[in-house]
Amino acid sequence: MKVLIEIPDNEVNFGMKVLKSLSFVKNAKPMTGAAIELWDNLKEAAEEVRLHKQGKIKLKTAQELLNEL
């Protein structure tokens, strides 16, 4: 299982030491700025799909997206 943990910038070194010291943690590494931006965009997209499925918002069709280009 993968878990995302948000640690304040000023505590990253300590947090990483703690995580790496735990025998059951297989891999602990900080995310890059690009990875963080991608993660945020994916979360937003997933939320929009969830709201669309509930009928709370209307998403654009593929044709509408192509027309914007």
Cα gap 67→69, rounded to integer Å: 5
Please tell me whether residues 35 and 56 are part of one structural domain. Answer: yes
Domain of residue 14: give its range.
1-28
Are residue 22 and residue 52 in the same domain, yes or no? no
Whether 24 and 43 map to the same domain: the answer is no
pLDDT in tens, 6-32: 999 999 999 999 999 999 999 999 999
In this structure, the answer to whether residues 35 and 66 fall within a common structural domain is yes
Count the domains in the chain: 2
Among 26, 27, 38, 30, which residue's Cα sits nearest to residue 6?
30
Cβ–Cβ under 8 Å, residues 19 and 13: no
Same domain flag for 35 and 68:
yes
- Which tens digit of pLDDT belongs to each residue from 21-66? 999 999 999 999 999 999 999 999 999 999 999 999 999 999 999 9
Identify the sign of the CA torsion 30, 41, 8, 1.
negative
